[in-house]
Amino acid sequence: MDDLLDLTSRVEATHFWFRGFRRFVGPTIAEIAGGRRDLYLLDCGCGTGHNLATLLRPYGSAFGFDLTPAGLAHARAAGLRLARAEMGAIPFQSGRFDLVTSFDVLQYVRDDAAVMKEIARVIKPGGGLVVTAAALDLLRGGHAGTWPEVRRYTTARMRSIVEGAGLKIRHLTYLFATLFPAMLAVRLAGRAGEAGRASEGDWEMRVPAAPINATLTGLLAVEAALSRRIPMPVGSSVLVVAGKAR
């Protein structure tokens, strides 16, 4: 896990997947912020802290927590406000934050319904939630060999746990529909033999040649614009945007 976090820290500024992710999530966070720069924001399972620094910190006082020492070491090097904690026991008072995020962490927790209720606890009345998680069981593989996934999500399951935590969904869609055919092909090929499975995760984390990286970044930018208006029917991730009643 620590090795993968180190690798992530080296590629997340330039790799097309991470660039695409920020295209999906960044405008949503900006819309929730509504031009304010005095919000209290929390990233649950902040990893290397890159998203905390680039997506949340511009809008106010941003905090994060993670359980992995390697992730926290990277985040602390960026001067971020951090705690070491588990998703099921968030070390902040109830109703503290205007916006709470969690990016690609829920698939690793055992009791996702309980974790979502804990996340909802620290959101202020009138506050917002932005969460992404790995989608669709047929795409299992890749990093799941290093970070064993408990589950992958459908939009229906995500809706169930978010609404079960008392939050109101504003937007729910799959992400990375553009890459879905290629990712499915890679997963199926990886299942054909042990060698394929062993190398698949590292292959996915390599930044491709500049023309390919730029082309895929552009395709994801187009999809990101469309997905804000038209929910995607498939994808490798699920995005949910929700709010807490006043």
CATH number for the domain harbouring residue 59: 3.40.50.150
Contact 220, 180 (CB under 8 A): no
Q: Above 80 in pLDDT, residue 217?
A: yes
Residue 113 is part of which domain span? 2-244
d(CA 56, CA 238): 20
Q: Write down the pLDDT at residue 209.
A: 94
Mean pLDDT of 200-207: 66
Residue 6 or residue 129, greater confidence: 129
- Give per-residue pLDDT as tens, 139-160: 987 654 456 899 999 999 999 9
Total number of domains constituting the chain: 1
Average pLDDT value for residue range 215-233: 95
**Cβ neighbours of residue 98 under 8 Å, at least 6 residues apart?**
39, 40, 41, 60, 124, 127, 128
pLDDT at 79: 85
Mean of all residue pLDDT scores within the chain: 90
Confidence of residue 70 (pLDDT cuts 50, 70, 90): confident
Q: What is the dihedral angle through the alpha carbons of 148, 150, 152, 156, rounded to the nearest 10 degrees? A: -170
Per the listing, tokens 């990712």 go with 183
Region of poorest pLDDT, from 83-92, 107-116, 146-155, 183-192? 183-192
Q: Higher-confidence residue: 151 or 3?
A: 151
Q: Which two tokens stand for residue 175?
A: 């992400």
- pTM summary value: 0.91
